[in-house]
Amino acid sequence: MGPDERERLFERAREHSTRQDTWAEADRLWVRVIDAYRQAAQGPGRVNRRDQQQLARSLWRRGMLLSALGRAADGMTPGGEAIAIFERLHDAVAAEGGDVAAPAWDEALAELITALVDLAEVAFAAGQPVTRLELVERAVAVGLLTVASPPSAGPRTREAMGTAYHNQAVALLHRSITRPSSDDSIREAALAASRACELRQGLLDPLRPLSLWEMANTYGVYAQCLALIRDFDRAGMVLGLGNRLVELLGPAGAQPAQALRVAAEMVAREKSASGVAASRRWGWRRS
C-alpha cells in the first residue's frame, strides 16, 4: 500500500470514529490502517518518521475507540504501544535540539502527553484507577522534564499540559473521595487544578468555544477541590468565573454546568459543617 492510500485509509477510519453508528466499521478500518503503517515502518531502508507517527496515532485512536465500545481492557495494549512509539519520536526530535516551543518539538511533546492522558482514562474505564493516576502523573512529569515552566511552552504542549493537570486533579479528587485518609490528596488535586486553570486561561479564545468549555470544566473541578480544603472565598470566585463561561456557552455548557453545580453544593455543605475559611496561593514547581 502506497503513502497516499495509507493516508486516505487513515482519514476514513478517523471519520468513522466520530460517529457512534459507524464505530464498528471504524474498528475494522483501524486494524487495516495499523497493519499498513506497521508494514511501512518496518520496511527495508530508512524508516520514514511520518509512517512511525501515523502508526502511533492509529494505535492511540484505536485504543480510545475500543474504550468507547466498552472494551477498555483491550484498548490498553494498542494505547501502550502508541506511547512507546511517541516516546521514540519525541526523543528523536529532542536529540535534534532547538527550541522546545518550535512546531516540530511542540507537536511531538504534545502528542506524547496527550496519549498518556488518554490511556489513563482508558485505564480508569477498565477499572484500574491506580494505573490511571500513574499514567496522568507520568504525563505531567514528561512535560515538566522538558519544559520547566509550562506557560512558556508551545501552544500544543500548553493545551496538552492543561488537560494533563485537569485530569490529574480529577484522579486525585476521585482518590480523595473514595479513599479518604488525609488532606494530602485533595491539596495535590487543588494544586493540579490551579495549574490547569492557569494554562487554560492563557488559551481562552472566544472564537474557539472548546477553550471556553474546557476552562469552565476545570473551574468546576477546582471549585470542588477548594470546597474540600475549605477555601470558600476562592471557591466562590471560581464558581462565579465558571458560571459566566457556562452562560456564554448556552446549551453546549451542560457538562461543565453540572460540575459547577456539584461544586456549589459541596461549598454549601462544607461551609455549613465547619464555617472555616482558609487561603493559600499555589505556584509552579517541578513534580
Given phi > 0 = left and psi -120 to 50 = alpha, else beta, which region is 45? left
Q: With contact defined as beta carbons under 8 Å apart, do 226 and 235 qualify?
A: yes
Residues 6+ apart with CB under 8 A from 154: 100, 101, 102, 103, 105, 106, 109, 110
Domain membership flag for residue 202? no
Q: What three-state secondary structure class fits 279?
A: coil
What sign results for the dihedral spanned by CA atoms 87, 93, 97, 101?
negative
Each residue's pLDDT, cut to its tens digit, for the chain (287 residues) gives 788 999 999 999 999 999 999 999 999 999 999 999 999 988 665 668 899 999 999 999 999 999 999 999 999 999 999 999 999 999 999 999 889 999 999 999 999 999 999 999 999 999 999 999 999 999 999 999 999 888 889 999 999 999 999 999 999 999 988 876 666 889 999 999 999 999 999 999 999 999 999 999 999 999 999 999 999 999 999 999 999 999 999 999 999 999 999 999 999 999 888 755 444 433 443 33
Closest CA to 31 of 69, 5, 63: 63
HSE-up of residue 34 (Cα within 13 Å, Cβ side): 19
Residues 6+ apart with CB under 8 A from 125: 67, 72, 75
How far is CA 269 from its chain centroid? 30
> Cell numbers 451542560 label which residue?
254
Residues 6+ apart with CB under 8 A from 73: 126, 127
Domain membership flag for residue 207? no
pLDDT at 46: 66
- For the chain, how many structural domains are there in total? 1
Query: What's the angle, vertex CA 15, arms to CA 13 and CA 21, rounded to 5?
Result: 95
What sign results for the dihedral spanned by CA atoms 247, 250, 252, 257?
positive
Domain membership flag for residue 16? yes
Residue 73's domain comprises 1-97
Q: What is the C-alpha separation between 234 and 165, in angstroms, rounded? A: 19
Domain membership flag for residue 59? yes
CA distances from 12 to 15, 70, 190 (A): 5, 22, 41
Domain membership flag for residue 68? yes
pLDDT at 283: 40
